[in-house]
Every structure is written in C-alpha cells, then in structure tokens.
C-alpha cells in the first residue's frame, strides 16, 4: 500500500507515524520564509541607510544572520518550525521523530550550500523529488526530516443518540471505522450514508435509514455515552 508515512516503533511498542512532507509544501514554506526575511531586511535598511558605512556593515551582519542563523534559531527554539513552516504546518524533526537539536539543525542548514547548487536549489529539488521521505541532501546527512505537524482534518462531533450495544466484540480498527462513520456522516449525502450502512447489514440486520441510526447508536455506545 502506497503512503507517505514513516512508521517508527518505540521500545514501548508504540508506533509513531511521521507524515513526511515533500517538495511542494516545503517549497511553499521556503517562499514564505524568503518573503518574510526580505521584508525584515528592507524595513531594517531604512534606518540603517542613514548611518553610512557603519550602517552598511550592520546591514551585512543582519543579512548574514537572516541567511544562516535564522533557520537554526527558529528550528531549535521555535519547536522545529521556521515561520514559513509554521504557516504551512510543517516541522523539522530528527529521523527518529525526536525534536531536532543543535547539531543536526546546524548541519542541515550548513548543507544548504550544497542543496542550493547551482544557485536556484536545483540539487535540493531533485533530491526532494527522488527521496521517498522528501529529504534534501542536508536532511539526509543530518539525519532529519520535515513532517506535516498540523492536525488531520476531522469530522464533527458524533451526533448524540441512544447508545446501542454492539452484539459482538469488534477489533480496534473496526470500532474506529464505526466512530469515523458517525463523525463524518454529516459530510456525506443521505444516499451515501445509507449505501455505507447497508454494507453492514450482517451487523445491524437493518437497512437504509434504520441502519444508519443504529450505526450511530453503536458509535455512541463505543464512546461510552448513555
């Protein structure tokens, strides 16, 4: 089955799903960062231009900081997110899912020198498109990856209904599917709801609207509602 998730199992037997971010969202985040930094530099240049050579020197220092320190500072202190990544819901983490630390962050950002070759991020783009987890060369060397950190889209609250106990024990994923159906039924057309509920006639022994109602009742029961 094809997916973009990197699964990591902790020693406690918990599997973490890292949703790898690829070239397109990362390029968008980079563009946001670029615009932000250009804005900051332009605004800072207005007072600095009044100070002649000294102001120019300060401007060069600011440019250096924006080009090199910005990434590391944001990644280490802002939870692995530069401002652009925060806007796009991305996050840099170590390849094992732990928060990114100083050394990997410095390494991956120093290696921008390689990824930026030949001047317009050509190498980085090629690497991101080829790698299964969308890592550029700096990420591969530093052992980091960029993931989607924003919450998954969810449906509404499960509509309240009288709880109907399930006649047999269901596996965890089957229970999850029932609850998911109840949550998302508001987004589906009535016909589609009934179509889906009719699939479970062996469970509900009903069809159409009654089946939908009973499935929602089951979901309420699974959630422990009265």
Partner 1 sequence: MELERISVVLRPRAPREVLDLGAAMLRANAVAVWSAWFAFTVPIFIACNVLGVLLGLPWLGLVLMWWLKPMFDRLPLYVLSRAVFDRAPNWRETLRGQRQWSWRSTLAALSWLRIDSNRALRLPMELLEGAPRKQRMARWKVLRRRIVADTSLLTYGCLQFELVLFLSVWLLVLLLIPSEWLPQSLADFFRHDVRDASTMWTLLGATVAYLAMSAIEPLYVACGFALYLNRRTQLEAWDIDLAFRRLRTRLQALGKVLGVLLVCACVWPMSGHAATPADAPPKPMVTSLQQVFRQPMDSADQRFATAAAETYRDPRFGGEHKLRKWVFKYTPKAATSAQPILFPAFGTALAVVFKAFMWLLLIVAIGALLRFAWRWRGRLAPTPAEPASALSQSVHASVVADAPLPADLAGAARALWQAQYQREALALMYRGCVEQTARLLKVPPSPDATEADWLRQAAAIDDPARAQRVIAIVRTWQFAAYAGRYPDDAGIESLLAGWPAQTGVPA
Q: Which stretch binds partner 1 (CB under 8 A): 42-50, 58-66, 98-106, 160-168?
A: 160-168
Residue with tokens 């070759």: 117
Find the binder of partner 1 among 101, 150, 156, 209 (CB under 8 A). Answer: 150
146-181 in b/e form (b: 16+ CB < 10 A) is bbbbeeeeeeeebeebebbebeeeeeeeebebbbeb
Find the binder of partner 1 among 36, 66, 125, 161 (CB under 8 A). Answer: 125
Report the C-alpha gap between 108 and 184 in whole angstroms. Answer: 40
Find the binder of partner 1 among 62, 83, 87, 164 (CB under 8 A). Answer: 164
Report the C-alpha gap between 60 and 54 in whole angstroms. Answer: 10
Instruction: Give the nearer residue to partner 1 in terms of CB position, either 96 or 174.
Output: 174
**Structure-block tokens of residue 225:** 């509602």
Find the binder of partner 1 among 8, 16, 20, 107 (CB under 8 A). Answer: 20
**Structure-block tokens of residue 184:** 């998302």
Q: Which stretch binds partner 1 (CB under 8 A): 60-68, 94-102, 111-119, 135-143?
A: 111-119
- Tell me how far the alpha carbon of residue 169 is from its chain's centroid: 34
Work out whether 15 is an interface residue with partner 1 (CB under 8 A).
Answer: no
Cβ 20 to partner 1 shortest distance, Å: 7
- Tell me how far the alpha carbon of residue 110 is from its chain's centroid: 24
Find the binder of partner 1 among 214, 216, 219, 222 (CB under 8 A). Answer: 214
Short-list 105, 120, 48, 31, CA closest to 72: 105
Work out whether 27 is an interface residue with partner 1 (CB under 8 A).
Answer: yes
Work out whether 80 is an interface residue with partner 1 (CB under 8 A).
Answer: no
Find the binder of partner 1 among 46, 50, 152, 172 (CB under 8 A). Answer: 152
Q: What is the largest CA-CA distance in the chain?
A: 84
Report the C-alpha gap between 196 and 115 in whole angstroms. Answer: 48
**Structure-block tokens of residue 46:** 């207005």
Find the binder of partner 1 among 7, 34, 98, 192 (CB under 8 A). Answer: 192
Tell me how crowded residue 7 is: count the other CB atoms within 10 A of its CB. Answer: 10
Q: Name the 3-class secondary structure at 6.
A: strand
Cβ 59 to partner 1 shortest distance, Å: 23
Work out whether 97 is an interface residue with partner 1 (CB under 8 A).
Answer: no
Residues contributing to the site for partner 1 (CB under 8 A)? 1-5, 19-25, 27-28, 88-89, 117-123, 125, 129-130, 132, 134, 148, 150, 152-154, 163-165, 167-168, 170, 173-174, 176-177, 180-181, 184, 187-188, 192, 196, 199-206, 214, 224-226
């Amino acid at each position: 089955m094809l997916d973009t998730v990197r699964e990591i199992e902790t020693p406690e037997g918990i599997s973490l799903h890292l949703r790898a971010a690829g070239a397109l969202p990362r390029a968008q985040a980079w563009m946001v960062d670029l615009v932000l930094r250009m804005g900051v530099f332009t605004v800072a240049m207005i007072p600095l231009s009044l100070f002649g050579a000294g102001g120019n020197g300060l401007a060069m220092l600011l440019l250096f900081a924006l080009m090199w320190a910005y990434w590391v500072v944001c990644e280490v202190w802002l939870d692995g997110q530069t401002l652009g990544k925060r806007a796009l819901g991305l996050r840099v983490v170590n390849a094992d899912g732990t928060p990114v630390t100083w050394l990997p962050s410095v390494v991956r950002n120093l290696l921008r020198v390689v990824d930026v070759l030949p001047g317009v991020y050509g190498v980085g783009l090629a690497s991101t498109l080829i790698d299964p987890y969308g890592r550029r060369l700096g990420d591969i060397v530093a052992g980091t990856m960029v993931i989607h950190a924003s919450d998954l889209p969810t449906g509404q609250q499960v509509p309240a209904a009288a709880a109907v106990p399930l006649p047999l024990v269901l596996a965890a994923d089957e229970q999850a599917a029932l609850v998911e159906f109840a949550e998302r039924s508001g987004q589906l057309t009535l016909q589609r709801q009934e179509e889906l509920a009719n699939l479970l006639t062996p469970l509900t022994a009903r069809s159409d609207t009654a089946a939908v109602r009973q499935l929602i009742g089951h979901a309420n029961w699974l959630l422990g509602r009265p």
